[in-house]
């Protein structure tokens, strides 16, 4: 009886006067929620709106308090994040910037050109563009020549380390290590989540690499992959097949995939713990009922994983994908840790160069080039992140 009276109570009248099916209303409300509707769309708009409301409520005079509370983090962010960030972009567009004397010779785009190997210099420090040069191949080595106004042919030197080594290596590292480490960490975390005994112990063990120093572990890997190291011993490798990381001028002909392989193994190993941590916490948030439902629906283990676990873990997978893409685009410490230098052939070529390694080396070189490379890397990361967000829109369920 009490229930009967409750149902008599009319729901709040909708804005329109026409009667609306309650389910219809519900759906509309949902549509509003999911599609954004009239809500302020951007984060900044919402932030601004929130600020307006607060100041209207609390009065303008309280504003300084908010700024006071924000000050410590704002100051730190300004000094160590925003200033370097803006400065990097500025430096990237300055010619001959000297960070000691803070002098430069004006605006230029040549820094980008130099990094990409489009702008070269003659021995007399004249700037020449690639399309002004003539190409000559002698003995398999490409030379570029520029004829000056007086008709004298001078050789032009281009920086090719970024285009030839740093960029391909960075992309290679990213596209090899990111998918592999995600798959491995996903499998490990699913395994960890489904066992009961030793769960805490194993969790700790798997997390250990995260708290170890990258350089120190890199040196351990260098020992493992040494030509007389345990890897070669276990797999019985010798001769040309055993030089994973060894350096020396005499080893110039060994294939570059071997050090790259060792590098990728190390990067994957070192990046697992954080991913496992995130995936485990995600797995623990998945309602057990979905697994019960899958059992009732006769789904096997593999099918349950692909149809229930992975989709419900998709927010974590997206997060991990984006962060690890960014991290591996910035890969550099692993190269230092494993090889000590960007080269495995005694410095003949920079065959293990990465973009950030190049940027780092420009402290001793030309800071403008470093700034330009940093801006380029920033753009590359932006593009990849945007692509990932776009692709994931349909696949990620929140």
Q: Which residues bind another protein (CB under 8 A)?
A: 1-7, 22-23, 26-27, 30-31, 34, 287, 289-290, 292-293, 295-300, 303, 307-308, 311-312, 314, 397
The CB-of-22 to another protein minimum distance in angstroms stands at 7
Residue with smaller CB distance to another protein, 131 or 398: 398
Nearer to another protein by Cβ, of 290 and 378: the residue is: 290
* Residue with smaller CB distance to another protein, 12 or 56: 12
Distance CA 119, CA 127 (A): 7
Do 247 and 367 form a contact (C-beta atoms < 8 A)? no
CB 106 within 8 A of CB 94: yes
Q: Which is nearer to another protein, 2 or 60 (CB)?
A: 2
d(CA 310, CA 233): 38
367-395 vs 314-329: helix crossing angle, rounded to 10: 160
User: How near is the Cβ of 11 to another protein at its closest, in Å?
Assistant: 10
CB atoms within 10 A of CB 44: 9
Query: Min. distance of Cβ 32 from another protein in angstroms?
Result: 12
Q: Which is nearer to another protein, 6 or 13 (CB)?
A: 6
Smallest distance, another protein to C-beta of residue 314, A: 7
CB of 204 to another protein, least distance (A): 24
Q: Which is nearer to another protein, 312 or 322 (CB)?
A: 312
Beta carbon nearer to another protein, 100 or 197: 197
CA distance 142 to 106: 32
Q: How far is the CB of 299 from another protein (least distance, A)?
A: 5
Whole-number minimum distance, CB 294 to another protein, in Å?
A: 8
Place of tokens 């398999």: 140
């Amino acid at each position: 009886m009490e229930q009967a009276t409750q149902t008599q109570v009319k729901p709040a009248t909708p804005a329109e006067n026409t009667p609306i099916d309650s389910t219809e209303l519900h759906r509309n409300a949902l549509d509003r929620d999911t599609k954004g509707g009239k809500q302020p769309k951007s984060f900044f708009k919402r932030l601004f709106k929130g600020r307006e409301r607060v100041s209207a409520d609390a009065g303008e005079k309280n504003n300084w308090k908010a700024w006071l509370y924000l000050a410590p983090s704002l100051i730190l962010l300004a000094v160590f994040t925003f200033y370097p960030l803006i400065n990097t972009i500025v430096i990237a567009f300055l010619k001959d910037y000297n960070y000691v004397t803070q002098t430069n010779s004006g605006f230029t785009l040549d820094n980008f050109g130099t990094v990409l190997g489009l702008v070269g210099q003659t021995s007399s420090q004249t700037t020449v563009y690639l399309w002004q040069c003539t190409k000559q191949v002698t003995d398999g080595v490409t030379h570029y020549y520029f004829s000056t106004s007086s008709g004298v042919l001078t050789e032009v030197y281009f920086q090719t380390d970024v285009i030839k080594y740093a960029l391909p290596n960075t992309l290679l590292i990213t596209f090899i290590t990111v998918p592999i480490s995600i798959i491995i960490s996903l499998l490990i975390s699913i395994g960890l989540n489904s066992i009961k005994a030793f769960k805490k112990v194993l969790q700790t063990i798997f997390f250990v690499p995260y708290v170890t120093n990258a350089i120190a572990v890199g040196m351990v890997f260098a020992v493992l992959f040494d030509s007389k190291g345990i890897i070669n011993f276990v797999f019985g490798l010798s001769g040309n097949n055993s030089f994973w990381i060894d350096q020396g001028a005499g080893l110039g002909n060994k294939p570059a995939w071997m050090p790259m392989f060792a590098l990728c193994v190390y990067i994957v190993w070192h990046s697992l713990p954080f991913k496992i941590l995130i995936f485990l916490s995600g797995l623990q948030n998945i309602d057990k009922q979905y697994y019960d439902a899958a059992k009732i629906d006769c789904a096997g283990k593999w099918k349950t994983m692909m149809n229930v676990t992975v989709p419900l873990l998709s927010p974590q997978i997206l997060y991990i994908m984006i962060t690890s893409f960014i991290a591996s685009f910035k890969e550099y410490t692993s190269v230092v840790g494993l090889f000590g230098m960007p080269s495995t052939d005694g410095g003949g070529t920079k065959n293990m160069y990465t973009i950030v390694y190049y940027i780092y080396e420009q402290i001793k070189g030309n800071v403008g080039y470093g700034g330009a490379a940093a801006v380029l890397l920033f753009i590359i990361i932006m593009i990849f992140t945007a692509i990932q967000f776009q692709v994931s829109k349909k696949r990620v369920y929140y």
